[in-house]
Amino acid sequence: MVAFYGTELSSRLMLGTAQYPSPAVLAEAFRRSGAGIATLSLRREAGGDQAGADFWALVRDLGVRVLPNTAGCHSAREAVTTAQMARELFGTPWIKLEVIGHADTLQPDPFALVEAARILTDDGFQVFPYTTEDVVLADRLLAAGCEVLMPWGAPIGTGLGLTNIYGLRTLRAQFPDVPMVVDAGLGLPSQAAMAMEMGFDAVLLNTAVARAGDPAAMAEGFAKAVAAGRLAHEADPMEPRDMAAPSTPVIGRAFL
C-alpha cells in the first residue's frame, strides 16, 4: 500500500489518459495495469462540451482515483485558475501542479511552481508538484505546503528513463519520509523498476504506454516492473562490490 495525503492506494502505478488510439484501448490498459490513479488535463478535456462529458464518463468508469493536472500552464496565475476549475469540475482537492518554464524540455519554472504551490495549498488543495530532482527546489515546495513530490525522470515524452540517477538518489536520501513519485520520461518497464528499487514510492507515465504497439500489454509490463522493483527495495538488496567474491566457499574443499 502507498498513501498520498492520507489516502491509501493498492497500486504504485499511475497512468495518464492522453494519446491512446481509442477509448477502448485506454480502458483495457487501465484494467491490465491495475493503476490506482488516472491523471487528466482540464485543458485538453473540457467538461461542458459533449466530447469532454463523454471522456469524463469514461474516466469515472475506470474506477480509479482522479488526479487532474495543470498541463500546458506557463504561469502561476494560469495554473492556479486551471486548478480551481478542475476542483469544481472533478470534485477533488488533488491537483498535479505543472508550470512549464522551458518550451523545448518542458522543464518546470521553479519560481512560478513554488508560488502556485503556496497559493493552492493555502486554498485547501492537496498539491502534487511536477518538479526536477533539485534538492533546494524540493525544500521550497515542502515549505510551501506540499506533502508529495513528483520529480521527473527525464523530459516529458522522451522515454529516456532516469537521466540523473545521482540527483534522484540524493533527493530520495535527503527527504526519506516524503512520498515521491517519479513522473515523466520513462520509456521501459525496466526504468520503472529501477526507480522503485531506489526507494521511490510510485511512478507516473503516459506516453510509454499510450504510444506502444500494444498499450495494454505495455501497461501490464509496467505494473509488474513496479511491483518487482518495490519488492526488491523492501528486500534490502546487497551492496555492489568492486572485486569478485566467490559464491561457493573454498573452505572444506578437497585438495587433489
What are the residue numbers of the active site?
96
207 is an annotated ligand-binding site residue? yes
- How many Cβ atoms are within 10 Å of 114's Cβ, its own excluded? 21
Query: Between helices 23-33 and 50-61, what is the axis angle to 10°?
Result: 20
Cα distance between residue 93 and residue 158, in whole Å: 29
206 is an annotated ligand-binding site residue? yes
Cα distance between residue 6 and residue 24, in whole Å: 32
3-state DSSP of 115-168: HHHHHHHHCCCEEEEEECCCHHHHHHHHHCCCCCEEECCCCCCCCCCCCCHHHH
185 is an annotated ligand-binding site residue? yes
Q: Are 90 and 55 in contact (CB under 8 A)?
A: no
Distances in whole angstroms, Cα of residue 42 to Cα of each of 14, 85, 101, 231, 253? 17, 8, 19, 35, 69
Task: Choose among 6, 11, 5, 35: nearest CA to 209.
Answer: 35
69 is an annotated ligand-binding site residue? no
Cα distance between residue 69 and residue 17, in whole Å: 11
Cα distance between residue 75 and residue 149, in whole Å: 19
Cell output for 72: 500546458
Displacement of CA 22 from its chain's centroid (Å) = 23
Residues belonging to the binding site for 1-deoxy-D-xylulose 5-phosphate are 157, 184-185, 206-207
Name the binding residues: 157, 184-185, 206-207
